[in-house]
């Protein structure tokens, strides 16, 4: 579909595209001018953005692909050189706590995350960690590798019949619920807004009107909500005290949603039997306790990092931009621009 501008919109990507199909990208470039930065850190990115704008003029859109950590923080100062021309910032990640959404909204800039591309792979990781904590797989593997065979690995818990409580029933939570049902787990959820009745039937989930209801009655608790001012430290000492003794914890969302000090205390006391963590508060640095403890199954934030997810996320970024410049509105905006 041709862009409804006489001049092609100019786009700047913080990183080169790596996974998208060449045919798709070539077709997209027939209607847009796309420049790609090749920088390795925050300071290089800031300098390159200013240099590109000075040399070739302003950009209408800014693209941030997967692997943002070296370039953070995305402060207003980082993004300000793109204004006032830039109309939209798109990210290839589902989470968006690293971006100044309120500031972008005040500047009249749309912001879009990827709602679908990384959802199922992240739910796969959540399901993997759910099974891993229930079956105590890391400790068993450690024994086997050490030549101790089963060592003291006594019969473990069976997922069948356990109650899985999902905090945040967006796309990732829904995929996790669907996968957990295959293992005969009973799924309940807590969300800012209750799902429509037809969705609850589709995903076979039960709504908990309060977070405490979910914490008090779940055997496994999985965190799938976004990180923002209302969810930072959502699970802390008070919340762990409300949980069942021997509960299992899974986090594939953002590390800061769980107070790590409180989690460690709960693991040490036995309140939490095991934790499966793909995210950490100060990643890539991992609290040494989680690295060393047999009560923890850890991953280096791999939830959405699959080949298909990377390809689809890159495409989703461009589809948001294409939609804005053809219809006046992106496909999946996080904010609203009047």
Catalogue the active-site residues.
254, 283, 301
**Which residues, in sequence order, are bridge partners of residue 206?**
188
Residue 33 and residue 10 in contact, taking contact as beta carbons nearer than 8 Å: yes
Beta bridge mates, 37: none
Q: CA-CA distance, 204 to 33, in Å (whole number)?
A: 46
CB 183, CB 126: distance < 8 Å = no
How many residues can be counted in the chain? 338
Strands 61-64 and 110-112: unpaired
- The position carrying tokens 């800031």 is 46
Please check whether residue 223 is in contact with residue 247, taking contact to mean a CB–CB distance below 8 angstroms: no
How far, in Å, CA of 142 to CA of 310, rounded? Answer: 31
Residue 38: other Cβ atoms inside 10 A: 9
Residue (of 152, 125, 120, 122) closest to 136 by Cα position: 152
Cis bond leading into 36, ω under 30°?
A: no
For residue 64, the surrounding DSSP H or E stretch is strand 61-64
């Amino acid at each position: 579909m041709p862009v409804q501008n006489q001049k092609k919109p100019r786009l700047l990507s913080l990183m080169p595209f790596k996974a998208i199909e060449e045919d798709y990208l070539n077709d997209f470039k027939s209607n847009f001018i796309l420049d790609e930065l090749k920088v390795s850190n925050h300071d290089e990115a800031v300098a390159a953005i200013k240099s590109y704008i000075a040399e070739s003029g302003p950009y209408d859109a800014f693209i941030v692909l997967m692997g943002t950590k070296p370039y953070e923080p995305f402060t207003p100062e980082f993004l300000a050189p793109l204004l006032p021309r830039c109309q939209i910032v798109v990210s290839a990640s589902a989470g968006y706590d690293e971006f100044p959404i309120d500031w972008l909204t005040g500047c009249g800039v749309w912001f879009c995350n990827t709602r679908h591309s990384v959802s199922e792979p992240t739910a796969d990781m959540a399901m993997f960690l759910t099974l891993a904590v229930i079956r105590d797989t890391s400790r068993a593997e450690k024994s086997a590798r050490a030549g101790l065979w089963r060592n003291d690995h006594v019969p473990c818990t069976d997922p069948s019949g356990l109650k899985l409580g999902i905090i945040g029933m967006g796309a990732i939570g829904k995929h996790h619920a669907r996968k957990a049902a295959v293992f005969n787990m009973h799924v309940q959820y807590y969300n800012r807004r209750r799902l429509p009745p037809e969705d609850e039937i589709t995903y076979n989930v039960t709504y908990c009107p309060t977070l405490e209801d979910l914490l008090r009655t779940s055997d496994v608790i999985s965190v799938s909500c976004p990180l923002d001012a209302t969810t930072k430290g959502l699970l802390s000492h008070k919340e762990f005290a409300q949980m069942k003794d021997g509960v299992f914890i899974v986090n594939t969302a953002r590390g800061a949603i769980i107070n790590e000090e409180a989690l460690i205390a709960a693991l040490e006391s036995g309140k939490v039997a095991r934790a499966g963590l793909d995210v950490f508060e100060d990643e890539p640095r991992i609290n040494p306790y989680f690295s060393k403890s047999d009560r923890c199954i850890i991953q280096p934030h791999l939830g959405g990092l699959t080949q298909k997810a990377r390809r689809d996320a890159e495409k989703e970024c461009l589809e948001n931009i294409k939609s804005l410049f053809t219809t006046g509105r992106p496909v999946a905006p996080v904010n609203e621009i009047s």
